[in-house]
Structures are given as structure tokens and as C-alpha cells.
Structure 1
Amino acid sequence: MPNFIRLIIAFAFLGSAVTLFVFGFWGWGILGIFLAILVAVTFFFNENMLVAQFYMRKENMDKASQWLNRITNYEKQLIRAQHGYYNLLIGLIESRKAPMQSEKYFKRALSLGMTMDHNVALAKLSLAGIAMSKRNKREATMYLQEARKADKNKLLAEQIKMMKDQMGMMDRQVVKGGYR
């Protein structure tokens, strides 16, 4: 459902709640206010995205993918601030199936922008992992440094450190392979 319809429905609930207040039906008016608030909240936070994030936290990628597939045209169904998060979620799901093909979603998420720094750090960390799997050390190092800068609350510090250690092991494997 397009976002402007959600706003129309929210204002209809709000208008009916005010009407109910005027005619003395306070209980139904309060219920109308709650419904108007609920519909207005879905304008800013799409319910499909919220349920998909819930299933991703539960490690159920199939259900998360089903809920994200309900969003047919994200440019019309989501507000602009959620476009980057939509691509990030699609990229995280794709990284489980086909890691190399998820790169375009992470890059699109970064180009569209995300407001939370730890999500930017997560996208850059994922891009660093993809660059490492392509044996592109320079790009992986760049993404790791950017991820460390973006991770202000140190939520991904352990993963960044582990990725750095793996990059060091990658150097040793190249050296060993070169001498044989």
C-alpha cells in the first residue's frame, strides 16, 4: 500500500476519533486515537521491514525473505530514509545464498544512506568480506578502516578484529603459496 494512503487512513481515524469525542463516546474515541497513531507509525516504519528484521534476528532468513518480498516497489512503498535499510536487509539475506551477488545491495544501501552508524559499519564490513574473498586486499583494508570509523559504539569491534586477523592469515598463505 502506498504511503499517502496510510496517511489518509490515519487522518480518517483521527477525524472519526474527534467526532466520537464530540458525541461523548470517549472509549471509542480513545481507541480511534490509538488506531490513528498505529497507522501513522506504519508510515515511518513499514510493517514488512519490521517483521523481516524480527525474523532476521531469529536467524530465520526464509521468513525474512518472504516478508521483504511483499515490498514490490520499495521506492513507492517506503519513505526515502528506509531505502538504504531495505537494500541492506536484502544484501544480508543474499549474502547467505550468494555472497558475491550481495555486493551490489550493500553498495546501493551505502549510496542511498542510512542514519544509524552501526548499520553503515555492517555494510562496510560485509563489503570488506566480499573484497577479501575476491583477494582484493587494498579494497578490503579500505572498507575495514571505514567500518571501524563508522562503528562508534564498538558493536562490531570483535568482527572487525577477526576480519583483520583473517586478512593477516591471507597474507601468510600467499607467501607460503609463492615459495612452493
Structure 2
Amino acid sequence: MPNFFRLIIAFALLGSSIAMMVFGHWGWGILVLLLALVVSVTFFFNERMLIAQYYLRKENMEKAESWLKSIKNYERELLKAQHGYYNLLIGLIESRRAPMQSEKYFKKALSLGMTMDHNIALAKLSLAGIAMAKRNKREATMYLQEAKKADKNKLLAEQIKMMQGQMSQLDKTVVQTRGFRPR
């Protein structure tokens, strides 16, 4: 359902709630007012994305993916501010199956923009991991430093340290393999 329908429904419910309160039906008026608030909140936070985030936290990727796939045209159904988050969630799900394929979703999420710094840090940390898998140390270091800057609340500090440790291991394996000459 397009977002403007949600607003129309919310305003209709708000109007009927006020009418019920004016005519003395306070109980029903308050109930309809709460329903109008729930409908108006779904304008800003899409319920399918919220449910998909819930299943991602529970690590049930199949259900999370099915809820995200139920959004047919995310550009029409979501607010512009949610487009980046949609691509971030798709990228997180795709990174479990095919990590190299998820790079485009993380880059698109960053280009569309996200308001929360820890989500930006998560996307950049994921891109750093992909760059490390491609053995592109310079790009991985760049994304890791950007993720460190974006992680202001230190929510991903442990993962960033772990990634830096893996990067130093990557340096050691490169040095060791350069000294080996096959016959």
C-alpha cells in the first residue's frame, strides 16, 4: 500500500476519534485515536521492515528475507529516508549467502543515505570485510577507518578490532607466500 493511503486512513481515523469524543463516546474515541497513532507511525516506520529486523536479530534469515521480499517496489512503498535501510537489510541477508554479491547493496545503502551512525558503520565494516576477502588491503583499511569514525557509540568496536587483527594476519600471509617459490 502506498504511503499516502496510510496518511489518509490515519486522518480519517483521527477525525472519527474526535467526533466520537465530541458525542460522548470517550472509550471508543480513545481506542480509535490509538489506532490512528499506530497507522500514522507505520507511515514513518514500515511494518514489514520492522518485522524483518526482528527476524534478523533472531537470525532467522528465511523469514526476514520473505518479509523484505514482500515489499514489491521499495521506492514507492517506503519513504526516501528508508531506502538506504532497505538496501542495508537486503545486503545483510545476502552477505550470509554470497558475500561478494552483497557489496552492491551496501554501497547503494551508503549512497542513498542513512541517519543512524551505527548503521553507516555496519555497512562500512561489511564493505571492509568484502575488500579483505578480495585481498584489497588499501580499500579495506579505508572502509575500516571510516567505520571507526562512524561508530561514535562504540557499538562495533570489538568487531572493528577483530577486523584489524585479521588484516594484520593478512599481511603475514602475504609476506610468507612471497618468500615461497614453487618448483
- Name the TM-score, length of structure 1 as normaliser: 0.99
| One-letter amino acid of the structure 2 residue matched with residue 168 of structure 1 | S
* 1:22-62 Cα shifts (integer Å, max 9, x gaps): 21111110011001000000000000000000000001111
> Distance in 2 between the 1:32 and 1:169 partners?
60
Aligned to 1:136: 136
Aligned to 1:47: 47
> Distance in 2 between the 1:46 and 1:7 partners?
13
Aligned to 1:17: 17
> Distance in 1 between the 2:3 and 2:92 partners?
25
Aligned to 1:83: 83
| One-letter amino acid of the structure 2 residue matched with residue 30 of structure 1 | I
Aligned to 1:5: 5
| One-letter amino acid of the structure 1 residue matched with residue 127 of structure 2 | L
| One-letter amino acid of the structure 2 residue matched with residue 164 of structure 1 | Q
Aligned to 1:171: 171
Q: Secondary structure at the match of 2:83?
A: helix
CA-CA distance at 1:155 after TM superposition: 0.6
> Distance in 1 between the 2:49 and 2:170 partners?
37
> Distance in 1 between the 2:108 and 2:144 partners?
18
> Distance in 2 between the 1:148 and 1:8 partners?
43
Aligned to 2:124: 124
Q: Secondary structure at the match of 1:155?
A: coil
* 1:115-141 Cα shifts (integer Å, max 9, x gaps): 110000000000000000000000000
Instruction: Give the superposed CA RMSD.
Output: 0.5
Aligned to 2:67: 67
* 1:53-92 Cα shifts (integer Å, max 9, x gaps): 0000001111100110111111111111111000000000
Q: Deviating runs (4+, > 3 A) in structure 1?
A: none
Aligned to 2:155: 155
Q: Which runs of 5+ in 1 are unaligned?
A: none
> Distance in 2 between the 1:89 and 1:139 partners?
22
Q: Secondary structure at the match of 1:114?
A: coil
Aligned to 1:102: 102
Aligned to 1:30: 30
Q: Which runs of 5+ in 2 are unaligned?
A: none
CA-CA distance at 1:21 after TM superposition: 1.2
| One-letter amino acid of the structure 1 residue matched with residue 150 of structure 2 | A
> Distance in 1 between the 2:22 and 2:145 partners?
60
> Distance in 2 between the 1:88 and 1:97 partners?
15
| One-letter amino acid of the structure 1 residue matched with residue 158 of structure 2 | E
